[in-house]
Structures are given as C-alpha cells and as structure tokens.
Amino acid sequence: MSSQIIPSLPKTFSSSLDLWREKNDQLVRQAKQLTRDSRPSLRRQQSVQDTLEGFRELLLTLQGLPAAVPALPLELTVTCNYIILRASLAQGFTEDLTEDVQRGLERVLEAQHQMGSKSQQGLKELWHSVLSAPSLLPELLPALHCLASLHAALWMSTNHLGDLTSLLQTLNGSQTETSEDLLPLLKSWSPPVEKLHAPLILQDAESLKDVLLTAFACRQGFQELITGSLPHAQSSLQEAASGLCPPSVLVQVYTALGTCLRKMGSPQRALLYLTEALKVGTTCALPLLEASRVYRQLGDTAAELESLQLLVEALSATHSSETFTRLIEVELLLPQPDPASPLHCGTQSQAKHLLASRCLQTGRAEAAAEHYLDLLAMLLDGSEPRSSPPTSALGPCMPELCLEAAAALIQAGRASDALTVCVELLSRTSSLLPKMPSLWENASKRTKELPYCPIWASATHLLQGQAWSQLKAQKEALSEFSQCLELLFRALPKDKEQGAGSNCEQKCMSDVSLKQLRVAALISRGLEWVAIGQDTKALSDFLLSVQICPGNRDGSFYLLQTLKRLDRKNEASAFWREAQSQLPQEEAARCLPLYLETCLNWIHPPNCEAFFEEFGTAVLESCDL
Amino acid sequence: MEPLVQYTERFSELLAVSCGTLVSTWDAATVRRALQWARYLFHVYRRFASRGRVREALERRLHVRRGPLGLRSFAALESGDVRLALRLLRNRALAPAAARALPGLLFPGPAADNVDDVPQSRLVLLARRGSALHLLFRLGGDAPKGALLRTHAELLYARLQELGGADSTAARKLLDTLWEHGPREHVLSVMAEALLREADPEPAQAADSAGADETQKLLHWLLESTEVLAAFCRHLPAKRLASVAGCHHALSRAYLDLLTAWATRLHYDLQKGAWVPTQLEDMPWEELCLRLQSLCQAQPFLQEEVLVTLRSCKALDGDFEVPGMSIWTDLLLALPGGA
C-alpha cells in the first residue's frame, strides 16, 4: 500500500508543474499583447490588472508548497514577471519589491537546506549566500540574474548605490574587486542566456541590464551636469546616447549634451545636439527651452524669443500617450528633474512668463505686455490645470507677476491698462494690506507696533504712480508715490518665517532691493515735484534718496541738477566734492525683481555721465579761480 | 502853570523817597512840610478838577515828564497826601522823633482849622484796599488764583475807565507799560480774564456799555500788537484761549490765522513719519493739534470756522489725501469731524 502511494506523488506534482508553467506562459503572452496595444482604454487597464492578479495568484500557489528544487526556476520566473508587471503598471519601483526578492532568495536557500544555519540575514548577505553556493543549479541562474536586475533597478532608483555596487560585484563573481565605479561593473556583467525550454519571462536579464546601463549613464550625466563636472557629464551622456536609449530619454540626453556644451562655451555645437533632439520628435519642449538659452548666450534675441514662443505652443499641446514597447523602460529609473535643473521644463505658464519677461528685458514692450496679459488670464481664469502650481518656488509670486505685467504695460505706453492691473491686484489682496488711516494713526501716536505689509503692495503704488505720471496726472502720481513711501517707511516687511509664500519674498526682496525701491519712489516723486515747479520738495526727496543709498548716481544727478537750476551753486559744489569721495555702487552686484529693474531704468537720466563730467569740470574751474 | 508843574514833580520825587531809607534823616519839621505840600496839591486838585483846559494842559506836561514812580495823571493829585501818609506810616526807617510826631500831624484833633482837610476817611479806605491786595497775593491754589485774576482784571478795567474815552492813546500806553514792565505771563492771563468778562452777566445796561468799551480798547490793542498777540496765542493754555476766542470773533480769526501760519513752518519727516518743526522755537505738531482741537470743542461755530479754513488751505495745497503730503490733510485727519 505504501509503495503505491509514493509513485503517485511525483506524477501528480509533475503534472501540476506543467499546468502552472502553462499558466505562466499564457499570462506572459497576454501581458505582451497588452503592451503592444497602444490604445489607452479602460478595458486595457482592467486587462492589465487581471493579468497582474493572475501572476499574484500563481505565485501564491507556488510559494504555498514546500520549497523544491524542480519548481524553483518556475517560481523565480513568476516572481520576476509579477514584479515587472507591477512596476510597469505603477510606473515605478516600490519597496514591496524588497519583500518579494527576499522571499524568493529564502526559498532558494530553503530548497538547498541552507536556511537553518543563516537566519535573519540581510539582503546583501542573502544574495551572496545564494549566488556563491556550490550546489547552485545552473538552470536557476537566468531567473536569479533577472531578479537581481530588478533589485538593482530598485536600488538605483532609490539611490542606494553602495548596495548596487555590492550586488554587481557579487553577480560578476569578483569578490575581491576593488573598483567601485558602477559603469564598468554594469558593462562587465554577463547575464546567462535563457534556455529554450525555460518558462517565458516578460523581460529577461539581458534586456534589463541594458536598461540599467543606460539609466545609470543618464543619471550620472545629469548629476555631473548639475554639479558642474562638465567633461564627465559629456562622457556619461554620450555613453547613454550610444546605448539602447528610448526616444523620450534620448531627447533628454541630447538636450543635456546641448546644455553641457553651452556651459563649456560651445553654443554652435550645442545647437547641433538640440537639432538632433528635435528630430527625435517625441517632445520638443525641452530642446526649445535649452535652445532659447543658447541663443541668449549667442546674443540672438529674435531667435531666443522665437524659441520661447514655440516652447509655449509646445507646452500647450496635449501630450499624446506613448507607446509601451517594453515593460521596464529607462524612464522608470530616472528621477524627475529638480526645478532648479536646466532639464526641468516647467509648465506652460512658466514658459509664458519666461517669454514675457525676456521680451520686457530686451525692449519689446508691446509683445511683453500682450504676453503678460495672456499669462494673467491663464493664471487668474484658471486655464491651467489646478493641480499644477501657478508658479514654482523659484519664480516670482503672483503679485509680482502682476507688477511685471503693469511695468510692461507702462513701458508699452498703456498706462490705463497698468492701472487696471494694479487696482485689480490691490482689490484682490486688500485683506493682506494695512489700512491707511490706522497706519497714520499709529504714526501720529508714535506707536512702536508697526503693521506688516508685503513689499509688493508698496511696489504696486510705485507703479501706479508711474502710470499716472505717464498720463500727466501729477496729483494722482504724487499721491501714489507718497503712499508707496508711507508703506515703505511705516510698515515692516512681512515676517520671513511665516508661510511658504514668504519664501518668494525672501528671495526676491533683499535689503538691497528694498533700498532700491525706496530710492526709486523718492526719485520718482522728486521728478513729479519738479514737473509742477516745487523744487524745494523735489530737493528734499532727492537728498533723502542719496542719504538712503550713498553713491547713487541717479539721485546725485537730480540733486545737482536741481541745485544748479535754483542757482545754489555753493551747495552743489559742496555736495559734488562729498559725492566724489564715495565709491559708486557696484551695478553687477544687485539682483532686483524685474519690475523694479524696469522702474529704475525709467528714472535713469540718459545724459547722466556727460552731466557729471561737465559739472566736475565747472567745479574744478571755480576752484582754480 | 509852570510852577505848578514843578511842584508836582518835586512831590513825585518826595513820594519816591518816602518809601526808601532816606527818611531816617527826617525830623518832625520835615514831615510837617511834606504833608503841607501834599495838602496844597490836594487843594489844587479840588479847585481845578472841573476845569477841562487847565486839567488837560497839566496832564500833557505830566505825561511828557513822567517818571517810573511819578504821578500818572491829574486825578492822582487827589490822593497824594493819603499815599504819602501811608508810605510814611509803613516805613520802618522813619526816624523815631518823626514817627512820634506823625500821628499828631495826621490827626490834629478838635483844634483843626478845617474839618475837610482831615484825611482820616480817605486814609482808611486806601489802607483797606492795600491790605486786601496783599492778602490776595499771599494766597495760593486755583480758586484764589482765579480770584486774583478776576481782581486784577477788574483793576485793569477800572484803570481803563479812569483814562476815559477822551484820549485813546492813554489806554494804549497803559497797556504797553504793563506789557513792557510786568510779568508777561501774568499780564497775558489778566488780559484773557478781562476779555472773558463780557461773558459774565452785567446787571446794569450802563455797565455793559462801559465794559464793552473797555473790552474793545483791550481787544484793539491786542490785535494791533503782533508781538503781544503771538505771545497771547502761544503761551496761554489752549482751553482758555478757545474760551476767549469763542467770545470775540476778531480774536478767533486772528488766532486761527496765527495757527495756520505756524502750521506752515512744520515739514514732514518721512523717516520719522511725523511733522517736525523747522526751528526749535516753532510750535510742535502735538501742540498745534491740541489748540485746534480745543477750538473745535469750544463752540460749534469755531469748529466750522476751523474746518473751513483747513479745507481751504488743503485745496490750495493740492488737495492731497495721502498722509504726509499736506499738513492740512493731516490736521483734518486729527480733528473731530475733519476727515
């Protein structure tokens, strides 16, 4: 009786094993079929989920039995298929993979009766124990290498490069390998070839190795580009481009090579790579952004602005769904570009702002005004998806965008529209602003507690004053300039520790900027006093501007000019001699918001230097007499 | 006429000496002659008091040669003997022999030639007044001070009445003298008190007319003198000034003009956020606001006048609404009903 039972057990197990293998092959073929189908649909999504569920159930069935050597190739293959499909579906690797890998390795050791002596081992030790076991069956190697490649992908994507190095050294069989450079280790890795009768696998180790190699070259190249190791970055990126690089990644690689060459002072060669990137044809936004930088470096403003215009149009197009040619692609292993990275493309509104600001900076006021109005409409009317932030942390905040728009409109001669923008800004943010009567009451009572006020509110009044000045409305201009000055001198800037919104102000509005804002308001009001013939008040404003910012050329110019007009030559000469002893301010050191820079350009006298030379000569002549 | 003028001058000198230490060398005969001299002038007064021409001629001469302690007017001759007597009685420096002879000379008894010559009644009256004034000066506190001011105001009005309406320059000279030689703050306070008398009810119509006349004299003099008016408006308390201005429209007008003139001397310090004086002696912003607020709170018509004036100045200044640009805008913001 007992002899009859023993022969039947192997027969039943063998039959089940064949059935399970057939199930695996069926699921693999089904998954590959779904991968080739590029039509996105709910049915396809559900089918992929069903396939993944099938792999999970099959894996649970196999792992429910005691570990047995004949079943290990199939079990490991199912594990790999399950991990691959899940990562592809989730578009990324998660920590669940670690448990699956550990479970698989423990099953291998269990089948070889080695688990008892090495309990509670880490993953590195597990890999070492499995791969270095003398009794390891050759037919397990393909699946094990595939599993190792998946684990390597996780470690690479989570930046555990030390563990990755150790794993690759184990895979290469070089336990005494001293080299820790990952690229040679990846290149020297030779996954074993799958046998013809082996169970089907979604993506074999050789294919995954290629993905790992390209992904690592890309990661390293991008990192070196950011850190400034440009020759190394160029080498890594060329390595990535020469590998099996999918089109979407190839665009990034070519663009990064263009960035690298631009920074190395080879803009023309950079343009060649960017042209190649555009030829790839998957997405042209990133190459266009980099092209605008190259043209800016070359001084070709028209081409720069054209690139930015195309960039805005490219970002407005709906992204078509990509064809899934392979389950594990290089993209899954690449990190999202940091907003500070040159490879970060941003949103359409950010591109629009870049275009508008460059138009304003390069003297194309009419175009800048139109772009800014489009941008405000895009942001305020909610044309952009709500999930995307209006501006990134590095860009200007919303009020400052309004100020830039107002500055562009004033520059374009559209003062009324600028006033509309400013009034809209102040009305939408009235709850943030201190009330002027209460502000004045505090000043009258000499209260020590001053209200907080955002700096952009003061700047709004400054720009309103400029707009009224353009419209020749002196009273309104003077009132706005005075209100700006009251806020600047009576209210404190917003506390920099409060909220994330303050980070923008903290970056944009340094002490130098605040000082320049005061100077701009004082000189602007002084010029308005001059316009209505009140030179005494103008003198007071010009003098205060020079006191606030010693060495300011513009304030000194207007002060001397007014003193000269009033025939107060002795005071002018005395001030001139005093001003000569002060060093002129370094223009390159200041990093001002665009609207403030534009405003300072308006009040800058064109004949400043000529006047100083003439006045200096006159002073010297009077000294000689 | 000339000998009479000389006699009067000598007597003025005699009055001045009677307060000092030189009387220690006087004997009874000297005292007798001095008193006889005083009685002679008394008789002159009674004889010519009703004759206008002689009186006017004598007063002109007296004013031309007026000394610091001399007789101020023809009317002073009437009380010359009494004043001399009081001074001698109070002067401890008088020689003992002369002091013993003085009562007999002042009060001769039943053997006197003429009862009218005896100055007992007039002497008692003047002594009582002096004691009252002395008592008032020694008192302290607000109420007694107010009483003192009222008394001094009444004395001022009495003095102005004595000068009469015939010669308006006499009143002006009196006030000029007070301003020049008196403690100025006290003089200003007395004048304010005097100007406030019109607000008090007067029982008789004639008294009202007389008070109005003296008030007009005082007011006219005050408004004519730039220096005194500025001091009057600058140093008196704001509430008191507002009360006085509420009684006299001409004064309120002048007061407001001065305040606006002082306001133009302030300039706005942008860094301090306040209106600051151009020079040290200029009125600061806080005091300016206080005085304008007091005017607004005193009388409704004064508030209206203040607001109309400030709004007119604001309009001329450009009609700015933003603080710090026009002092009129900021003053209006600081005043009730001005915003």
Q: Position of tokens 């970060």?
A: A344
Distance CA A423, CA A401 (A): 14
B279 touches chain A (CB under 8 A): no
Return the residue in A486, A528, A546 with the most chain B beta carbons within 10 A, the one to mutate for interface testing.
Answer: A486
CA distance A548 to chain B (A): 10
Contacts of A536 in chain B (CB under 8 A): none
A544/B270 Cβ within 8 A: yes
Within B23-94, residue ranges assigned H as helices are: 28-48, 52-64, 80-90
Contacts of A486 in chain B (CB under 8 A): 273, 322-324
Contacts of B322 in chain A (CB under 8 A): 436, 478-479, 482-483, 486
Residues A151 and A101 sit within 8 Å (Cβ to Cβ)? yes
Q: For B325, which residue in chain A has the nearest alpha carbon?
A: A482
B321 touches chain A (CB under 8 A): yes
What's residue A420's pLDDT?
93
Q: For A442, which residue in chain B has the nearest alpha carbon?
A: B273
A482/B320 Cβ within 8 A: yes
Q: For B317, which residue in chain A has the nearest alpha carbon?
A: A475
Write the burial class of residue A534 (CB in 10 Å: 0-12 exposed, 13-18 middle, 19+ buried).
Answer: middle
Distance CA A488, CA A434 (A): 12
Cα B42 from chain centroid (whole Å): 27
B321/A486 Cβ within 8 A: no
pLDDT over threshold 60, residue B128 = yes
And the tokens for B109? 């008894």
Question: Could you tell me what percent of chain B has a pLDDT over 90?
Answer: 8
3-class DSSP state of A244:
coil
Q: Which of B195, B200, B202, B190 is nearest to B242 (CA)?
A: B195
Mean pLDDT of B33-47: 77
Return the residue in B285, B319, B322, B335 with the most chain A beta carbons within 10 A, the one to mutate for interface testing.
Answer: B322
Bridge partners, residue B276, by sequence: B267
Distances (CA, A) of A341 to A226, B56, B307: 7, 109, 64
Identity of the residue in A437, A446, A486 whose CB atom sits nearest the CB atom of B324: A486
Contacts of A540 in chain B (CB under 8 A): 267
CA distance A158 to chain B (A): 55
> What sign for the dihedral angle of Cα A350, A507, B270, A439?
positive
What's residue B52's pLDDT?
72
Contacts of A440 in chain B (CB under 8 A): 323, 330, 333
Return the residue in B266, B325, B329, B330 with the most chain A beta carbons within 10 A, the one to mutate for interface testing.
Answer: B325
Could you tell me the residue ranges of all domains in chain A? 16-191
B318/A482 Cβ within 8 A: no
B273/A486 Cβ within 8 A: yes
Distance CA B272, CA B324 (A): 11
Instruction: Give percent helix, percent strand, percent coil of chain B, each to the nearest 5.
Output: 75, 0, 25
3-class DSSP state of A333:
helix
Distance CA B58, CA B73 (A): 9
What's residue B111's pLDDT?
57
Cα A222 from chain centroid (whole Å): 13
Write the burial class of residue B142 (CB in 10 Å: 0-12 exposed, 13-18 middle, 19+ buried).
Answer: exposed
Contacts of B334 in chain A (CB under 8 A): 444
CA distance A337 to chain B (A): 47
Q: Which residues of chain A have pLDDT under 50?
A: 1-9, 117-118, 175-177, 321-325, 385-394, 446, 448, 494-508, 586-590
Relative orientation angle of helices A415-428 and A365-380, to the nearest 10 degrees: 30
Contacts of A544 in chain B (CB under 8 A): 270-271
Identity of the residue in A444, A446, A478 whose CB atom sits nearest the CB atom of B320: A478
| Span between the terminal Cα atoms of chain A, in Å | 137
Residues B211 and B197 sit within 8 Å (Cβ to Cβ)? yes
Identity of the residue in B319, B324, B339 whose CB atom sits nearest the CB atom of A482: B324
Distance CA A553, CA B68 (A): 68
Distance CA A146, CA A28 (A): 15
Identity of the residue in A440, A489, A540 whose CB atom sits nearest the CB atom of B333: A440
Hey, which residues 276-295 in chain A have their CB within 8 Å of chain B? none
What's residue B63's pLDDT?
55
Phi, psi of A572 (to 5 degrees): -65, -45
Q: Position of tokens 């401890």?
A: B92
Distance CA B332, CA B336 (A): 8
Q: Report which listed range, A90-104, B44-58, B140-154, is most confident.
A: A90-104
Hey, which residues 412-441 in chain A have their CB within 8 Å of chain B? 436-437, 439-440
| Span between the terminal Cα atoms of chain B, in Å | 70
A482/B322 Cβ within 8 A: yes
B270/A440 Cβ within 8 A: no
Query: Residues near A83 by Cβ (< 8 Å), separated by ≥ 6?
Result: A97, A100, A101, A147, A150
Identity of the residue in A479, A489, A544 whose CB atom sits nearest the CB atom of B322: A479
User: pLDDT digits over B200-243, tens only?
Assistant: 444 444 444 455 667 777 887 888 788 888 999 988 889 888 88
A443/B323 Cβ within 8 A: yes
Distance CA A51, CA A339 (A): 37
Task: Label residue B80 by pLDDT band (50, 70, 90).
Answer: confident
3-class DSSP state of A203:
coil
Identity of the residue in B271, B325, B339 whose CB atom sits nearest the CB atom of A482: B325
Element (H, E) at A66: none
A485/B270 Cβ within 8 A: yes
Beta-carbon-side half-sphere exposure of residue A28 (alpha carbons within 13 Å): 21
Distance CA B107, CA B103 (A): 6
Contacts of B333 in chain A (CB under 8 A): 437, 440, 444
Return the residue in A436, A438, A444, A543 with the most chain B beta carbons within 10 A, the one to mutate for interface testing.
Answer: A444
Write the burial class of residue A252 (CB in 10 Å: 0-12 exposed, 13-18 middle, 19+ buried).
Answer: buried
Identity of the residue in B273, B320, B333 whose CB atom sits nearest the CB atom of A489: B273
Residues A132 and A112 sit within 8 Å (Cβ to Cβ)? no
CA distance A474 to chain B (A): 10
DSSP string, B138-200: H--SHHHHHHHHHHHHHHHHHHHHHHTTT-HHHHHHHHHHHHHHS-HHHHHHHHHHHHGGGGS
What phi-psi label fits residue A450: left (phi over 0), alpha (psi between -120 and 50 degrees) or beta?
Answer: beta
Distance CA A622, CA A32 (A): 93
And the tokens for B135? 């008592």
Counting runs of H as helices and runs of E as strands, what totals does chain A give?
28, 0
pLDDT over threshold 50, residue B247 = yes
Residues A134 and A113 sit within 8 Å (Cβ to Cβ)? no
Query: How many Cβ atoms sit within 10 Å of the Cβ of residue B246?
Result: 18
CA distance A249 to chain B (A): 58
Residues A353 and A289 sit within 8 Å (Cβ to Cβ)? no
A436/B318 Cβ within 8 A: no
A479 touches chain B (CB under 8 A): yes
Distance CA B331, CA B316 (A): 15
